[in-house]
Amino acid sequence: MDKKKEREMQTAFDEQAREVLSMPDRFLKDGKDLKVGFESEVAIHSDHLALNELEFVRDNILRKVPDFTDVELGAAQIEFRTPPVNISSTNGFCDISDIYRTTFQRLVLAATESNCSILRIGSNPFLPIKNTPRTNKLKYQLVPDFYNKNRPLQTDTIIGLGNHQINIGDAAVVSLFQSFQVNLEARSFEDACDKMNRSFFIAPYLLALAANSRYLELVDTKMQDLRMIGWEKSHDTLMQDLRLVAWEKAFDLRTPNEIARGHALRVGLPERYFIDLSDYLNRASRFPFILHQPKVALNMAVGMTWLDARVKFIQDSLVVELRLLPTQPKIEEELMLALLYLGRLIDSQMRNESLLPIEFVRENRLSAMLYGMHRKMWFLSGESILQKLPYKLGVRREIKRAICGLERFGLANLLDKELLEKILINGSPSDRLSQELDKKEHDVSVESMKEALARLEMLTKL
Amino acid sequence: MFFDNWEMKEFLSRFKFKRNKSGFIGVERECFLVFPDGNLAPKSEEFLLSLDDKRWTYELSACQVESRTKPHKDLSSLKLELLENDNAGQNNAKKLGLVLIHQEIGDENMPLNVYPDSRYIKIVETISRDRLVSACRVAGTHLHIGVKNIRRAIEIYNLLVAHLNKLCDLGDHSNGERLRLYKTMAINWNPVVYDNEKHFFEIAKKQGFVDNPRNCWHLIRISIHGTVELRMFGATDKIDEIIYWTSFVKSLINASGISI
């Protein structure tokens, strides 16, 4: 996009941001409800399909399940979601859980009819990284291409903690990544900003439990959750997220001068906590718009704010979205994580807890991505004292706090504590998958991967 | 001739190359300790005692401390260890009522207290006050690139020597002042292209680091850890900048076709 069009987008964005920010009352809510929605990305998989057939088959499946579903960047990907539901009402959480499960079951059925399975994992281990098939939509072609074209040659896009490393230097690598998102309605501008800030520091604790993207092209990277590193490396425009290790590397376009000046990426964590929504929108507008659609400039910039948490403006609602977590093997695990997140967030707001300093969040976040539960993390004591503790020790205190938060809305009994304990004992989905494949070391075949995924219910077919 | 060969073997045996760490990168980061009023604090002993972390060590100036990472192949894990060191160091400094700052030169009038290490005490006895001031004032970031043997080390070293000016520019945050001070302190700062191992040995003899290669003060040097060490980068508070330098150096090596 040329400079004139970028300027038009900037002007349109500024006008739209000013308009939104001038109407705080439009978004005010009384705070009695706890309105949430879930979104998850999954992928179809079949040995019988060529890469160029994936999109056609995927679209056929979506035609059979049109409600609450959509396409995503990857040609094999499907997004499914729930409508917003007030989970503080009687049966609210059961209702949203039912909708979520039912939609997924419909997808599994439709996929089975097309001789496909549904893959519930954070990074698709079967598809190629380079020139992986994308959904045929203009934005899905233009955005990754922009990052591929503008990434400095020096950017190191090789990742892997083990003997085998892989190159994730194609921004379309993010089409292999799948995440699970929790959306929560805020009651005011201040509340939205506060929830977003608190989400940044809560999310790494959850990611360590939930890590589920370790393999790409059947190679064990030994990273617990490589998505954001891939986003960041492949999409480094000024220096951080599309979705995690791989996101971050693939999206890094910053020049040496920008790095020296401390420029951040549009992916991951911001340089500091946000002061207010004006501060947040100001940051969102600092990155290239890439697409020329002035009428929706604000929504586009927010849509490409690939931070671990962000605030969306949807009609008269301010929606805080937690984006850091990968798709889980089972719906139940996602529901449990959602409750942990909501409970911990409510507790944090109720106690007006100090925010963990952002550089410590940055460490926790990267630690969760690389080593999951197997490394110490920083926690805040009740007296706001920084403590570096073994993860499993510190997280138990976090869980207690989450339960306190859930009690406030009468939701504590819905948290599946047995499942949570199992995960703490048996490990994250990445831990479990690597244990299944352990004996194979680096020579993982398509067959052994399929078998392991099926045993862990991450590859589902009726 | 026999003695020369024997001496050369002895010299080269001081370099501990590790085949399994070839291509791995480690970072040393020097930084200053500062009182809340902004004055430099000669408190490295207290700092290190309180932190009790093997990744942290002392420097010649008692106002400085240094953190080190393990060698890493993946730059994300390198970044994590840099973050871990930084946060642990900052947290410890705060407990002592101090602040850690990553700036590449200290004040002209900074305290000249030296850490009580026998090697440093000997050095200080033999150098002029000007050189001591220079040594105390500069803080850098050193990158170590693991190499598998001396031949590969010389190849990579020579390759990087050809890019010395570019690398100096890349790591400069003080308009060249830090490197000017460094050159005052280290007269033999300029890395020489080595024709082969014998030439490397001859230069070591000539410049007086044959008995202790740590006394080689070239801005690029082959270190006893079996690495090629880059010493031209200034201290920086931006970990992403260190990662960028590392990527840049890796890209130079990759583009040369030399396999690490």
State the smallest CA–CA distance between residue B165 and chain A in angstroms: 16
Average pLDDT of the segment spanning A327-338: 97
Q: Which residue ranges make up each domain of chain A?
A: 3-35+123-460
Domain annotation covers residue B260: no
Domain annotation covers residue B166: yes
Domain annotation covers residue B211: yes
If one counts the domains in chain B, the total is 1
State the smallest CA–CA distance between residue B13 and chain A in angstroms: 28
Give me the residue label for tokens 């425009």. A237
- Using a 10 angstrom Cβ sphere, with 0-12 exposed, 13-18 middle and 19 or more buried, the burial of residue A74 is buried
The CATH code that applies to domain A3-35+123-460 is 3.30.590
Backbone angles phi and psi of B243, in degrees to 5:
-65, -35
| Rounded distance between C-alpha atoms, residue A346 and residue A355, angstroms | 14
Read off the pTM.
0.93
B99 contact A CB<8A = no
Q: Using 50, 70 and 90 to split pLDDT, how confident is the model at A208? A: very high
Examine the pLDDT at A266 and tell me if it is beyond 90: no
Question: Which runs of consecutive H residues, i.e. helices, occur in chain B?
Answer: 2-12, 44-51, 75-95, 118-126, 129-137, 150-161, 164-170, 177-185, 197-207, 239-256
Domain annotation covers residue B259: no
Q: Give the model's pLDDT for residue A441.
A: 57
Examine the pLDDT at B259 and tell me if it is beyond 90: no
State the smallest CA–CA distance between residue A245 and chain B in angstroms: 7
Domain annotation covers residue B95: yes
Domain annotation covers residue B213: yes
Cα separation values, B104 from A4, A256, B35, B63, Å: 40, 18, 17, 13
B55 contact A CB<8A = no
Between chains, do B76 and A386 touch, taking CB under 8 Å as contact? no
B29 contact A CB<8A = no
Q: Which of A156, A239, A378 sits opposite B75 (nearest CB)?
A: A156
Binding-face residues of B in 153-212 toward A, CB within 8 A: 170, 173
Q: What CATH number should be reported for the domain holding residue B229?
A: 3.30.590.20
The question of ipTM being above 0.95 is answered as no
Domain annotation covers residue B258: no
Question: pLDDT tens digit string along B91-137?
Answer: 999 999 999 999 999 999 999 999 999 989 988 998 999 999 999 99
Rg (CA), chain A: 21
Q: Which residues of A touch B250 (CB under 8 A)?
A: 154, 156
- Of the candidates A185, A187, A151, the one whose C-alpha atom is nearest the C-alpha of residue A167 is A151
| Residue span of the structural domain in which B170 resides | 2-253
Q: Which of B87, B241, B243 sits opposite A378 (nearest CB)?
A: B87
Question: pLDDT tens digit string along A304-332?
Answer: 888 999 999 999 999 999 999 999 999 99
Q: Give the model's pLDDT for residue A261.
A: 63
Q: Which residues contact B37 (CB under 8 A, 6 or more apart)?
A: none
Q: Give the model's pLDDT for residue A90.
A: 86
Q: Which residues of A touch B88 (CB under 8 A)?
A: 388
**In the numeric block, which tokens belong to residue B179?**
């490197």
Question: pLDDT tens digit string along A394-442?
Answer: 999 999 999 999 999 999 999 999 999 999 999 999 999 999 997 655 6
- Of the candidates A243, A239, A251, the one whose C-alpha atom is nearest the C-alpha of residue A179 is A243
Between chains, do B244 and A245 touch, taking CB under 8 Å as contact? no
Chain length of chain B: 260
B246 contact A CB<8A = yes
